[in-house]
Amino acid sequence: MMEGLQPGRRLAKVWTLLKNSLVAIVKGQFLLRLNVGRYFIHVIFTFFVLGAVIWASLQIDTTLAKVEKNKETLKEMEILYSEKAFDVATLGRRTTISEMLKTMGSSVTEPEKPAKTVKK
């Protein structure tokens, strides 16, 4: 468009373009002057998509925060499980069982002869 023009006229042309654009921006007519009204729906969609991306990003952060919290809960559960397993193992000792039976007044004691097993 500006090919073949002298450098001075070319500069003036650019200045006019910038001035008009600036005035159009101030007046709120920039997009209308670019004649992008027919793409209005696309502009709106772009804004919507950008908004959606920001919202999704925030939601992902929230979800990740939940994941970390759940990990903590899971870890706590594992620790509790380990503690219970320890308690159960401690109670499995032969002498402990004998003492508990004795305390409870049970007549069950260690056997005096080998067990007999039934073979099918």
Partner 1 sequence: MNQATDTAPKRKNDRIGLILYMIYLAMLLASIVLIGKIVYMQVVWQPDEKIYDPLTPRNTKKVLEPVRGNILDRKGRLLAMSYPVYILHMDCTVGKESEWQSKVPALAEGLHRIFPEMTAAQYGKMIRQARSKGQRYLSIGKPIDHKTLNKVLQLPLYSEGRNKGGLIVEQKNTRRYPYGTLARRTIGFVRESNPGVSNNLVGIEGKFNDILHGKDGKEWFRQTDKGKVVRNFDSVYVKAEDGRDIVTTIDIDYQEIADKALRAQIDGNEDIEGACLVLMEVSTGAIRAMVNLKKDSSTGRFEEIENMAIGRRHEPGSVFKTVTLMSVLDDHCIKSLDEMIPTNHGRISEARVDDQHIRDHEAKDRTSSISVIDGFKISSNYVFAKLTLDNYGGRKVDKLMDHFKEYGLTSKFDFDLDGLQAPNLPRPEHLSDLARVGYGYATELTPLQVLTFYNAIAGKGRMMKPYLVDGPCVLDKSICPAAVADTLTRALKAVTEDGTAKWSLQNCKVTVAGKTGTSFGTFPKGQRGSDPYHDPSGRRKYQGTFVGYFPADDPQYSVISTVYSYPTIRSYQGGGIPARAIRALIDELYIIDPYWQEELVQCD
Binding status of residue 109 toward partner 1 by CB under 8 A: no
Binding status of residue 21 toward partner 1 by CB under 8 A: yes
How far is 68 from 71, CA to CA, in rounded Å?
5
What's the Cα-to-Cα distance from 56 to each of 38, 41, 48, 63, rounded to whole Å?
A: 29, 22, 12, 10
Per-residue binding string, partner 1, 50-69, x by CB under 8 A, is: --------x--xx-xx-xx-
Structure tokens at 98: 């004998």
How far is 103 from 91, CA to CA, in rounded Å?
14
CB of 71 to partner 1, least distance (A): 9
**Secondary structure of residue 100 in the 3-state scheme:** helix
> Among residues 38 and 119, whose Cβ is nearest to partner 1?
119
Contact 37, 31 (CB under 8 A): yes
Give residue for tokens 């067990």: 115
Binding status of residue 33 toward partner 1 by CB under 8 A: yes
Stretch that binds partner 1, among 6-14, 36-44, 82-90, 101-109 (CB under 8 A): 82-90
Which positions lie near partner 1, rule CB under 8 A?
17, 20-21, 24-26, 28-29, 32-35, 58, 61-62, 64-65, 67-68, 76, 79-80, 82-83, 85-86, 89-90, 92-95, 110-120
